Structure 1
Amino acid sequence: MTTATPTLTDTEKIKRLPWLITGNVFNILFVLLTFEGSVFVLYLDSLGLDTAQIGVLLSIIPFANLVAPLVTPLTSRFGLKRSFVTFWGVRKLVMSLMLLTPAFLGRFGSGRAFYWVAAILLFFSLARSIAETGGFPWRKIVVPDAIRGKYTALNSMSTTVASIVIVAGAGYVIDNGSGLNRFMILIGIGIAAGILSVISYAQVPAELPGQGRSARQGHLASMRAALSDRNFVLFLLVLGLGTLGTSSLISFIPLYMKSQIGISEGVVVILSIGTYLGALLTSYLWGWTVDRYSSRPVMQTSLFMMMLLPVGLFILPRGNAASAPLAMVVAFVQGVSTLAWQISWAHYLYVGAMPEEKSTAYSAVYYAWAGIVGGTGPLLAGQILNMTAGLSRQIGPFRLDNYTPLFAFAITMMLLSSYLVTRLRSNQPTSFRQFAGMFLTGSPVRALGYIIRYNLTSSEMARVMVTERMGDSANPLSNVELIASLEDPSFIVRYEAIHSIGRMPANDELLEALIKVLDGYDSELSSAAARALGRLGDPRSIPALRQALHSEHRLLAANAARALSFLNAAEAVPELRAKLASEPSKRLQIAYAAALGKLGDEESVDAIFDLFMASKKHLRRVELGLALARISGDERFYLQHWRGLQIDEGTTSAQVLTGLLRSPLLVEHPEWRELLNEAAATLATGDLATGVTSLADFMAEISPSESPTLINQLFSQVAAAL
């Protein structure tokens, strides 16, 4: 008897995800108050350390990631979750030693304090790295890929709200406190929050026995395989360049705001609220976006947005009342762009770059590389600032200082990273240009609103209304919902979706969806799809529409004819002529005649004119007249005077004939001019019958050979009809 292999279902995983998010909320409080962010940088500055020393300390934590490849086999055997939770708790105990720093500083001075803090950070970082070596593959397992983007967004929203609250409180404490005691209070609160995070993480399911584990020999082979994976290595290069640019810049923003812009320490901390607000307001958008359009276009978008950050910092006014508000705007942009970058590269790492069966080895390589570039960024930044400490030059309204080379370095790294993103492998066809175009076409804000409403609606009429309005937005962000609406249980929703797609910008997915409906079993929806294809305006639909001309459903064939004329499908003219000749219904003959008229087919003039004379209904004759006008000349002249005829037939007819009196042909033939003038004068009085008779006399007298061939043909036919 065989034992069933235990499984951890997605439902079970999702049920425990709130504990994972709760742990992340407490953890972000620990992070912000102890070793990362403005509070920690200002704390190091208060110890009397220079920028080079601060850069070294900031680099210790990421450099410790280099132990990941060495400890990965041990964490695999010990258990991924067990390793993570155990060493996540150990690092809190190590960080608690930071509370002794004031006493150490008072006894040994700032020189020795540097080594004290460095030692704490080193042991803290080693514990953190061991924990993360198990934590990364563990998270890969416990978060389903299908909702990874949404989970990341919800997690970001939760941690961002918590960050805003703690940063506001930290800013108050720093502004209203003095010395190192204010930082000790914050570090103590952070350690307490860190302990709560460990308790929360313990509630999340562990990986299954054997899952994510491998023997040392197999692990080393998997690591070698990871390093020979061209796409994975390219991803690491993209991540490395982007991280060098962002970490080198962001690490020293607090000191830049304090020393160069002239903002107080408390306000510098509060500026982080702008960053968190930017992240909070866009977190779900970015998570939804990477799930739908893949990581690559979002990675490029975020990199270009992050390039605005050093530009904004460079042009900030210094030492005046506008400095802090404008710095808050820059912080907001930082929050939007850095979150987009973090969500997109993390999504690509888990979904596109890292195979699940080798996630432990790939995670070890990734984590070690992230440590190298993450540590190099602040280390380089500190050295750049130290080496250019004497730089100070005014150029017009702008001031060059030792941060200017750092800004240039950051932009260069981000540019290189954005270029290499295009070379990453992707299963999604959405390019950066297409993705950016979605936010520049139609009304993207309205489209996003309709998408939200679409997913919240339940009644038929609400779905009909939202589907219709998505077409009004003319924005491709709603393409997925419109295509989904084509499968809606309600016929009305499906019908409305077809018409909405016809009002959208042409797109491969929309085109394929409409052609599928065109070839479907429902002739009414197929007819609507034919009209929508004509309106969509993509010539790639011409073959499908030509095929529809031969459908057994004659109304569908007629609608296909009209659509072909909108697409200027001259190759379909012979088929349209044949359909006009063979169609028994006068009503459907109009469609073929109108299509031939729009295509300007001169050989169909006789057939169209005969149909015109045989038609008794006013609107049919008007449409056939428009077809003849399109063949013979400018349809605008026809439409302009047709509108006038609806108001006053006599006056409009007289105006048309009066305009013809200026023709050079009539100047040469005064007798023709007199007949035409008489007809115009009679029509102007409202005597239509006599006026038409006078017009017929004029047309009988005029020599048709004086006119071009097509006009001659029509002239003769109209004269005979009159």
Structure 2
Amino acid sequence: MVDEPTTVEKLHKLPWAIASNASLAVFVQLTFFGSVFVLFLNELGLSTSQIGFVLSLLPFAGLLALVVAPAVARFGYKRTYITFFTIRHFVTALLLLTPWVVMRYGSQAALVFVTVIVGIFAVLRAIGVTASFPWTQEYVPNSVRGKYTATNNLASTMAGFLAISLASAVLARTTGLLGYDVIIAVGVVFGMGAVAFAAFIPGGAPQKSAPQASVAASPPKRDLRAGLSDPTLMRYLVGVGLMIVATVPLASFLPLFMNEEVGLSDSNVVGLQNAVLVGALVSSFLWGWAADRYGSKPVALSGVALRALLPVGWLLLPRHSPLSLPIATAIAFAQGIADVGWNVGSARMLYNSVVPPAKKSDYLALYFAWIGVFGGMSQLLGGRLVDATRTVRLGSGTPANPFLPLLLLGLFLPIVAAVVLRKLQDDSTLRFSQFPGLFLRGNPFLAIEAVIRYSRAGDEEAVVKSTQRLGSAHSPLTVEELLEALEDPRFAVRFEAVVAITRAGSDPRLVDALARVMEGPEPALSTLAAWALGRLGDPAGGAALEKGLDSRYRSVQAHSSRSLGVLNNRVVVPEILQRLQDETDPGLQLAYASTLGQMQVEEATTRVLALLDAASNSSSRAELALAVARIVGDEAHFIQLLRQARREPGEPGTALAQAMLALHKRLRQEWTVADDFLADFDDCAMTLARHQLEEGIDCLADITDVLAQYVSDENQQLILYTCAERMSQHGADRIEFAVLALHTLGVG
């Protein structure tokens, strides 16, 4: 067996495949597979049943794949594709003689003529497509299959958009069959161009038979029964078959529905294809990117779900109204989005998860034959359903909508297909139910923009800025890039990635990545990662933070402790209490005190008050006082009071006086204190209001000592007695004790 091309060669030649498919898209839209051909057959006077029969020849020919697959493999996938696609385009050119046949022999002869051409084309196409499936699996690397499919769809959609625009313009300016001849001629030219481009695609070499090669190198023996007994393949085929029945006949006869029921002109009906292509154009990159990142199944099922909603829109379309065209255009746009989602997801699922490379010839032959049977039968039955429904009359004598059965099939069968396909095992990293949530959290548009900017950024400053934007999107769509940024060789990028992760939101992979950073050799990043785990608020980070308490870096120990407090991880309370008693490092003492305060551990009160008394730094004193205030409760009240006391340096008396006046009302209503004490209380408040701090703090110490007796909570009583003692000792130099005392009296 000839060796496959290298991955480098495959990637280098993929643009030729994209160019070939884009050119082929023009041929497809302008000949047998677009709405143009349906209108062409309608112009010839064919009934919907006859149209369905002619169109069914194309998929039915797929049954030939079961017969010709071995010969195709021996002849070579590439050689077969180029040979038979070239011949089929010459056969297509014979359609240009249709007007002459009509004039010379009549419409019935033209029907036979067109049917024969379609039949020959279908056979040639079936043989060529039988080769194209395994060839495509070979020359597209699995790692970029979703991206390739999206890029391919993008190019094909743009080419198809131009083709449809041309067809619509031609039909608007011509009558009869002349316009269709022009359109088909252009399609044939582009079809030949597609074959020329395909000649540059690598792979597809002939498969040697056993006599020509060693047993080890020969291809595996043919066994179609193995494919039919493979539950994964059969489940996939059932799901695909249901989607074919739901979408193929509806797509074929939708132009007639728009023309007959909705009242759109031929050119407008063809123009709707442009809206479909625009929807495909704007969504191709997103679907392909999502398929490579999150797996095939969520993308495919999303397309199925969107597809199931379309018939509802078509049923509710206003008939013969000025609004008919714009609403139909909007629905067509949504159809383009849905179709690309299904095509990208299902194709990637087929090549990456369903078909083993060693059995690609047999499996893909079965696949092509299967979709041929379902496609052909759905076309035949679709046409007959439409014709049969035309004769139905409602109770009032009004004719029934002949397209209603097809619309109902398009509504319900995708739901059944989704149930079948959701049980398939593939490479998906999340469930379908989780997939929509990716686009509902944060700002998905900013996330996608940030991902694109990050992928294009090169120098350090640009990467740092783009990494910052990844976090600012607050979206799970940026997780992969953030993980990549954590591995960047530039320290500044890694540092920014840790910060950005805290904005992005919790994700199990991000938590695990931060845990690994904590265990790394860089104390700056390890410390930042410990802080980030607390900021994320995910309890899953608790285990890593517990290990961080024993880090060789004190800064990591401190931030691990603080983050455990944020997570309210009470498992570590006994250990932190012991560390608080034994620790001599001021920074770690402060961290342990803050942690215990965060978790409102009353056993830490005595030790924290002692540290508060010994602290010489004002910011340390404020944090220690906050730790005690948190144990009491209502952190916001303490912070507000402390801010007011600090707002005017040297004049905190106003804030303290206001707090005392607010407390006066509570003393009168809830506490049984004497009137003369209340008078002293008010005098103390006025002393503070006059900015006589030393005298005011002294009298506040006395008042606090008295009021402590009325407090039933022993821990709060301890705080008040300590604050009274320290206010008497330090006076106005330690304003934190006055604030803490008033806070405890106010909320305790």
TM normalised by structure 1 equals 0.95
Residues 665, 24 of structure 1: CA spacing in aligned structure 2 closer, same or farther, 3 A cutoff? closer
RMSD: 2.2
Shift of 1:112: 4.2
**In structure 1, what is the Cα distance between the partners aligned to 2:210 and 2:54?**
33
Residue 130 of structure 1: aligned partner:
127
More displaced, 621-630 or 146-155? 146-155
User: 2-side partners of 1:680 and 1:388: how far apart?
Assistant: 91
Is the 2:392–2:399 contact (alpha carbons within 8 Å) kept by the matching residues of 1? no
**Distance (whole Å) between structure 2 residues aligned to residue 299 and residue 571 of structure 1:** 44
User: Equivalents in 1 of 2:656, 2:347: separation in Å?
Assistant: 72
Match of 2:272 in 1: 271
Match of 2:302 in 1: 301
Determine the structure 2 residue equivalent to 1:56. Answer: 53
Q: Is the 8 A contact 1:222 1:362 kept in 2?
A: no
Which residue of the partner structure matches residue 230 of structure 1? 231
Q: Structure 1 stretches of 5 or more lacking a match?
A: none
Per the TM alignment, residue 29 of structure 1 is displaced from its structure 2 partner at its CA by 1.7
The 5 Å alignment of 1:341-420 reads 341-390=342-391, 401-420=401-420
Q: Deviations over 1:630-660 (max 9, x none)?
A: 1112112112222221225212111111122
Q: CA deviation at 1:330?
A: 1.3
**179 and 665 in structure 1: CA distance in 2 versus 1, 3 angstrom threshold:** closer
Give CA deviations for 1:405-432 in whole Å, capped at 9, x if unaligned.
3212111111111122220112332112
In structure 1, the residue matched to 2:288 is: 287
- Cα contact 2:23–2:193 (8 A) shared by 1: yes
* Superposition deviation, residue 390 in structure 1: 4.4
| TM alignment of 1:68-147, pairs within 5 A | 68-147=65-144
How much does 1:204 deviate? 2.2
The residue that corresponds to 1:539 in the other structure is 539
Contact 2:5 2:203 in 1 (8 A): no
The equivalent residue for 2:456 is 456
Offset of 1:571 from its aligned partner? 0.9
Contact map agreement 2:74 2:208 (CA 8 A) in 1:
no
* Structure-2 separation of matches of 1:214 and 1:243: 41
**What one-letter code is carried by the residue in structure 1 that aligns with 2:656?**
S
Deviation readout 1:331-368 (Å, 9 max, x if unpaired): 11111110111111111111111111111111101101
The superposition leaves residues 478-529 of structure 1 with CA deviations (integer Å, 9 ceiling, x where unpaired) of: 1011001111111111011011112222111111111111121212211111
Pairwise CA distance, 1:477: 0.7
- Contact 2:59-2:376 within 8 A present in 1 as well: yes
Q: Does residue 710 of the first structure (1) align with residue 707 of the second (2)?
A: no
- Equivalent residue for 1:511? 511
Q: For the Cα contact (< 8 Å) 1:247–1:374, is it kept in 2?
A: yes
Whether 2:659 is the aligned partner of 1:662: answer no
**191-200 or 498-507: bigger deviation:** 191-200
Identity %: 36
TM-score normalised by L of structure 2: 0.92
Return the letter of the residue paired with 1:500. Answer: A
User: Cα–Cα, structure 1 residues 61 and 220, in superposed 2: closer, same or farther, change >3 Å?
Assistant: farther
Query: What secondary structure does 1:616 align onto?
Result: coil
1:47-74 CA-partner distances (Å, limit 9, x unpaired): 1112122122221101110110111111
CA contact (8 A) 1:212 1:360 kept: no
What is the rounded CA distance, in whole Å, between the counterparts of 2:661 and 2:277 in structure 1? 72
Partner of 1:569: 569
* Rounded Cα–Cα distance in structure 1 between residues aligned with 2:414 and 2:209: 33
For each residue in 1:24-63, what CA deviation from the matched residue of structure 2 results, as whole angstroms up to 9, or x when unmatched?
A: 2222222211101110010011111121221222211011
Is the CA contact (8 Å cut-off) linking 1:16 and 1:205 kept in structure 2? yes
Q: 1:199 corresponds to which residue?
A: 196
Cα distance in 2 for partners of 1:594, 1:392 equals: 80
* Further displaced range: 99-108 or 228-237: 99-108
Quote how far apart the aligned CAs of 1:675 are: 2.4
Of residues 695, 699, 705, the one that matches 1:690 is 695
Consecutive unaligned residues in structure 2, runs of 5 or more: 213-217, 728-748
How much does 1:111 deviate? 3.8
Give secondary structure in 1 for the equivalent of 2:504: coil
Query: 2:321: which partner in 1?
Result: 320
Correspondence for 1:10 among 7, 14, 30:
7
Residue 144 of structure 1 deviates from its aligned partner by 1.8
Superposition deviation, residue 465 in structure 1: 1.1
Give the Å deviation of 1:6: 4.7
Amino acid in structure 2 at the alignment position of 1:715: L
Contact 1:77-1:213 at 8 Å conserved across structures: no
Number of residue pairs matched by the alignment: 716
Shift of 1:608: 0.7
Please, which moves more after superposition, 312-321 or 687-696? 312-321
Q: Distance in 1 between matches of 2:108 and 2:579?
A: 95
Mapped to 2, the partners of 1:505 and 1:552 lie a distance apart of 29
2:176 is equivalent to residue 175 of structure 1: no
Instruction: After TM superposition, give the deviation of residue 218 of structure 1 in Å.
Output: 7.6
SS at match of 1:317: coil
1:340 correspondence with 2:341: yes
